[in-house]
Amino acid sequence: MLSTFITQSIAIIAPLALAAAAAMAEPPAIFVDLTVDQAAKKAQQENRLVLVDATAEWCGPCKMMDRTTWVDDKVVEWINANAIAVQFDVDHEEDTAKRFQIRAMPTVIVLKDGKEFDRKVGYMDGPKLIDWLDQVKAGKSSLDVLREKAGNRMDEDGNVDVRERYDMAGEFLNANAYEEALDEYLWLWDNMVEFEPAMGGVRGSFMAGDMERLAASHAPAKQKFTQLRDDLAAKLRSGDGGFEALDDWIVLNEVIGDSDATLAWIDRIKDRPDAHKTFKRTWFRIDNLLVDAKRYELYGTIVPDPVRTARRDLAMLNDRFLPPSMDEDQRRQFTEMQNQRATDEIATLHASLLLANREQEATEVADELFAKLPGCDARIALANKAMDLGVVTKRHLAWLDECPAKQDINELRDRIEKRLMEQKKGGR
């Protein structure tokens, strides 16, 4: 169930590691205290560029640029000679972030004559930033460079650098060059695995996420991706597809925002004798989908190997993603976050299994959680989720009896006892 856990966890590390320092930090001296519009007006009067840095207090790469790039002597010299630089926090100036369609930080934008000329997304050191700014000053945008670099997809030997094409597609997307991004992603979707088999996992995860973002921003992209999905559906209906086509079909449903199609497919096949084989192969695609749709009973019915799922989730509880620079308090916060997320996921699995009348496996899943996290928090979480889904049992009361008496536990115990009495009266 924690198929997205690594990405989400890494995204949370930065705020924990940097929050204290960021709260006290002042913008680098190169940035003037002007709004973007004020800077643009001043720049037009002085025949200069405007450099806009979109940042956030919790953004690690942003803070790294503050400490290094924006105080680099050569960068400061270039900006003083050619531009007016302003910095804004996307969380504090949401209208400005929306105006410039900021989706990731850091994003650095260059304005010419008050209009956007070019942008770069991601960390840049001093030399890389100056190379880009020199290029912009000469009238050539990063998109111009990308177009030259793209050329033909095949070189004279019939080879292609798929990783470069993938990076380039992302650059086009970040620059809002949607048509060129679409062209690249369509080619990559059809050809990536052929030229670079090792990137098959990227195709169905990170690249699919980029395609989803493109589809949400560009109607022609959504139409193209929908057609790809529909063509696969026809292929599957004819029996000429196999698992690879099914996997692609599920991915494309997510890309175009049609998870209902996947849910409808699950409902259609769930009672077939061989459905469990299909669900076992596609589980990493559909587990979060079922939970997000609150299809808990169905989730509990078709989950292929609950104990193995719980063990896999609990195996993620380690500090291998933590940077050495984290202090003890930050590590504690991150560990608490990991534990809470895993507990919530397994509590959902446990309650869903009870809904599906898989009591023995529900107990085994709980035992796996308690072995890893023996404190009361796990017992309370399982009892609360079981209450929410209406499947509490005497076993939940027994688990709470193992905890020290506290007001919140006593209140939960009273609620469970009341629910059990109601269930008994109702013949459940």
Where in the sequence numbering do the catalytic residues fall?
A: 59, 62
The pair of structure tokens assigned to 327 is 């202090």
Cβ atoms of 56 and 11 closer than 8 Å: no
Inter-residue long-range contacts of 276-283, CB under 8 Å, 24+ positions, other chains counted: 276/302, 276/304, 278/246, 279/304, 280/304, 280/305, 281/243, 282/246, 282/247, 282/250
DSSP 187-205: HHHHHHHHH-GGGHHHHTT
Q: How far apart are CA 51 and CA 39, in angstroms?
A: 9
Distance, in Å, from the CA atom of 348 to the CA atom of 296, rounded to the nearest integer, reads 8
Position of tokens 């190379």?
131
Which residue's structure tokens are 């076993």? 395
Inter-residue contact 366 to 311 (CB < 8 Å): no
Start-to-end C-alpha separation, the chain: 29
Structure tokens at 237: 């209906």
Strands (E), 10-144: 49-55, 83-89, 107-112, 115-121
User: What is the C-alpha separation between 375 and 128, in angstroms, rounded?
Assistant: 50
Tell me the backbone φ, ψ of residue 93, rounded to 5 degrees.
Answer: -125, 70
